[in-house]
Structure 1
Amino acid sequence: MTDGAWAVALGSYPHTARLIAGEVASPALPLAFERVAPISKAFAPMVREARFDASEMAIATFLMARAWDKPLVLLPAVVARRFQEGSMLCRADGPVRRPEDLAGRRIGVRAYSQTTGMWLRGVLAEAHGVRSQDCRWVTFEDAHVPEYRDPPWAERAAKGADMLAMLKAGELDAAIFGNDVPADPALRTVWPDVPAAGRAFQARHGFEPVNHLVVVRREHAERSPARVAELLRLLREAGVPALTRADLAPALGLAARWCADQGLLPGPMAPEQAWAGLPEGIG
């Protein structure tokens, strides 16, 4: 929808609830919210078809989309961020006792391109000496960007395989569960002290890892910059942190570097490339 209401795919969080409920609204930009759950299911349609006028999107997906010149423009609107270490589990009675033990092991992840996996692989390499190619990554889905192909150190699980069942059966040594971490006494986190691991990341880099931001179709940034600015204003009025491009430069720079290191991008990407197409004066 170009001239009327914008179709928007956005997850439900405390800082988006008022916007989705219509309590924060603007006659200059009517919004029609699409129900997509989990919100990650909106990413591939947005990348491949530009199905929505604006959408939440994982940072790794966006950087890959930018590398393959998808017609999307990033807004400085972070709707989800967290320290990642609590998302990776292993068996409580298994051979993995600490992150360093993952070298040579089989690790399950929904997709090799998953943003949580990207951050965790970066931490493993930086803080624990375990590079991406030192492990065997067992995946269950393709990347949202269709041109991308997984690296040689990744393999696809059998059709219909269940990651949790594989972990509990010993077919995987660890697995990354993203938001949906199972509460199972037979499992524990790979990092023995998850809060300490988060504090260590913060001390090294000065920020909490970014998971999801907001993107708009490129045609809107080119033809309707005032509406793009109004969307950002509405997000901020609803409670999304009022961050700037400069605020996000450290996170985007590190994410781009780690994506390239892990084989998610065809080459290096400078942080400023992430903002290509965003009109001046916005963010």
Structure 2
Amino acid sequence: MAGFFRQLRFKEFDISELSLSSYMLTLNQPNPPFIALPVFPSRFFRHQSMYINTKAGISKPEDLAGKKIGIPEYQMTAAVWQRGILEDEYGVIPSQVQFYVGAIEKVESDVQRISKVPHSLPEGVTVTAIQKGQNLSEMLANGEIDAIFSASQPFSLETSENVARLFPNFKQVEAEYYEKTKIFPIMHVIALKRDLYQAHPWIAKSLTKAFAQSLDIAYEALEERSALRYILPWLEDHVIEAKRLMGGNSRWWQDGFAENKHVISKFLDYHYRQGLSQRPFEAEEIFAPNTLESFVM
């Protein structure tokens, strides 16, 4: 996202949405420029965003050992989750594959994609930038790489018979993953400039309360039955299904620290094990201290 790049490189905004992984990388700096709120505007199960070349001899996740996997950036949040899931659930560790980084689709500027935030790599992990003029989607279809882990869907899924999802039944797989782990992966956080927070700490608490109220409004819109608020013809059925699987308190999407500590802790473990965080972090460390209490309205 362009907004992420502008904030991470130029710090243009007092308050912004940020990639969780990119935010964590800023905490490696001697004077971290941002501090996060336990507000999570983007969450996504990521099994469905793993794509394979159907001729690469991959019939199950374990077959990815020894393969070439394309990713837009090594540090991106989606890829951190996907590598972690691949290791935890299927026993394939990052050092067993070769990563290739670059644009998913052809870009007019024809430049190599770079990481939004500089980072190191762990020993044994191989990451190679693809060449100018190449893109991961075409490379997957052509068999130059064996898989893509991404946030977005490669166009070649629609245009090439050689491209398919690693998990054709991804909805079932993701539901089983949630039932096992109770993890609905967090992608983004809301972050403040740290100097703003230090000067006016009340802003963090007030914003967290405001986001809690906005989530209430979002749920009210989903549960409106007199007319559909969103252009989904079977919206009610999806809401019922999500509640049944994930909504122990009728809320399948929750902000707040306590409600998400287990999700954050798992991500922080992945981030450190994958060589991105310079030290292990506790979940409490990464948020404004005055936002750790619950603000569910």
TM (norm. structure 1) is 0.78
Q: Which runs of 5+ in 1 are unaligned?
A: 1-39
SS, match of residue 212 in structure 2: helix
Q: Which runs of 5+ in 2 are unaligned?
A: 103-112, 219-252
**Paired AA for residue 129 in structure 1:** G
**Paired AA for residue 282 in structure 2:** A
**Paired AA for residue 117 in structure 1:** A
| 1:88-122 Cα distance to aligned partner (Å, 9 max, x none) | 11123432121111001000000000111110101
Q: Tell me if 1:43 matches 2:4.
A: yes
Q: Is the 8 A contact 1:229 1:282 kept in 2?
A: no
Structure 1 residue 253, shift from structure 2 partner: 0.6
**Residue 148 of structure 2: aligned partner:** 175
Q: Is the 8 A contact 2:257 2:293 kept in 1?
A: no
Structure whose residues are more often helix by fraction:
2
**Residue 109 of structure 1: aligned partner:** 71
Distance 1:96 1:280, change over 3 A: closer
**Residue 229 of structure 2: aligned partner:** none
Structure 1 residue 181, shift from structure 2 partner: 4.5
Structure whose residues are more often strand by fraction:
1
**Residue 188 of structure 2: aligned partner:** 212
Q: Tell me if 1:230 matches 2:206.
A: yes
Q: Tell me if 1:279 matches 2:290.
A: yes
**Residue 250 of structure 1: aligned partner:** 262
**Residue 62 of structure 1: aligned partner:** 23
**Residue 42 of structure 2: aligned partner:** 80
Structure 1 residue 56, shift from structure 2 partner: 0.9
Question: Which deviates more, 94-103 or 111-120?
Answer: 94-103
Q: Is the 8 A contact 1:59 1:213 kept in 2?
A: yes
TM (norm. structure 2) is 0.75
Partners of 2:268 and 2:145 in 1: CA distance: 28
**Alignment partner of 2:98 out of 93, 117, 136:** 136
Partners of 1:56 and 1:246 in 2: CA distance: 20
Q: Tell me if 1:149 matches 2:102.
A: no
Q: Is the 8 A contact 1:73 1:278 kept in 2?
A: no
Q: Tell me if 1:166 matches 2:127.
A: no
SS, match of residue 108 in structure 1: strand
**Residue 264 of structure 1: aligned partner:** 276
Q: Is the 8 A contact 2:256 2:292 kept in 1?
A: no
| 1:51-103 Cα distance to aligned partner (Å, 9 max, x none) | 21111111111122123242101111110111101111112343212111100
Q: Tell me if 1:122 matches 2:93.
A: no
